[in-house]
Amino acid sequence: MATQPVFFLSHGGGPWPWLDGPFREGFALLEASLRALPAMLPEPPKAVLVISGHWEEPGFAVSSAPRPGMVYDYFGFPEHTYHISYPAPGSPEVAARVVELGMAAGIPIGVDPTRGFDHGTFSMLQPIYPDAQVPVVSLAMRADYDVDAHLALGRALAPLRDEGVVVVGSGFTFHNLRLFNPEGRRPSAAFDGWLRHVLTEVSPEEREQQLQAWESAPCAREAHAREDHLIPLMVAVGAAGADPGTCIYAQDDLRGGITASSYRFSQDTTPSVHDLLRKAHHAL
């Protein structure tokens, strides 16, 4: 079984794949990158493990429902978006394996048999697997946002990659809702530039050291007044190990000027991520 890549994906706003008009159109580049993602895998996955910026608990937790429901964790959207469904199955087997790997590393992980898919999960997966055929398991962040703890969790879960599971950190490289407007142009570009350098140009050891000190990055707290949408990256980087990072989505005009990006971590460079993205963008 081939080793699966790890991803950190900016997941967009609310239930955007179920909308029409300018709001949906603003995510066209993101949507193209998400649609291209299955071709970036060496083989179809056994399951997807999602660490979403929209689920946190006092301690780490994993969803174990065989048929997860929906969590409509947004407001102000059209009525129909509170009745949508992403009917992917869960995987109690993968959930049990997550708990086992955590236990082996001395990291307790609780089990939640009732947790459904939040929009950091279903909105991101809808363009990737619109038929919802791949099992999905959700993993809660720890509410203290401890960077070292989340990096360690990612390292503990790395064996899943050799078992057919794609690990996805789902957040946003910029998440300050007050600045999702032209005022966010400067801080989002500054932080994104720093982040892209760290994720794609430095050694794996330096990468972790830089992320541990992320608050010292340019415009860090302007980009992430609260780091709930950044912490999923730490789990992804921990699971990535020594694998290099590649930027698979980059935009500098989101919502009037916001810079955002997404990343893939893998030793495998075939197929060419850049060729896939060029084809996806040309299809827009």
- Report the distance separating Cα 7 and Cα 42, nearest Å: 14
Tokens, residue 126: 């809808």
Tokens, residue 206: 């330096």
- Report the distance separating Cα 92 and Cα 55, nearest Å: 18
- What structural domains does the chain harbor? 6-282 (3.40.830.10)
- Report the distance separating Cα 186 and Cα 71, nearest Å: 33
Contact 262, 249 (CB under 8 A): yes
Contact 174, 260 (CB under 8 A): yes
Q: Do you know the residue count of the chain?
A: 284
Does residue 240 sit in helix, strand or coil?
helix
Contact 27, 35 (CB under 8 A): no
Tokens, residue 128: 């990737």
What pLDDT tens digit does each residue of the chain (284 aa) get?
Answer: 899 999 999 998 899 999 999 889 999 999 999 999 999 999 999 999 999 999 999 999 999 999 999 999 999 999 999 999 999 999 999 999 999 999 999 999 999 999 999 999 999 999 999 999 999 999 999 999 999 999 999 999 999 999 999 999 999 998 887 767 777 789 999 999 999 999 999 999 999 999 999 999 999 999 999 999 999 999 999 999 999 999 999 999 887 788 999 999 999 765 455 555 555 555 55
Give the per-residue pLDDT at 183: 77
pTM, whole model, 2 decimals?
Answer: 0.94
Q: Which residues of 107-139 are buried (b: 16+ CB within 10 A; e: fewer)?
A: bebeebeebbbbbbbbbbbbbbbeebebbbbbb
Please give the full DSSP string across 92-157, using - where no structure is assigned. HHHHHHHHHHHHHTT---EEESS--B-HHHHHHHHHH-TT--S-EEEEEEETT--HHHHHHHHHHH
Give the per-residue pLDDT at 114: 97
Residue 273 to residues 38, 40, 248, Cα–Cα distance (Å): 11, 7, 7
Give the per-residue pLDDT at 184: 72
Cis peptide before 271 (omega within 30 of 0): yes
Nearest in space to 95 (alpha carbons), one of 116, 66, 117: 66
Tens digits of residue pLDDT in 19-53: 999 889 999 999 999 999 999 999 999 999 999 99
Backbone CA torsion sign across 139, 55, 17, 173: negative
Give the per-residue pLDDT at 277: 56
Give the per-residue pLDDT at 182: 78
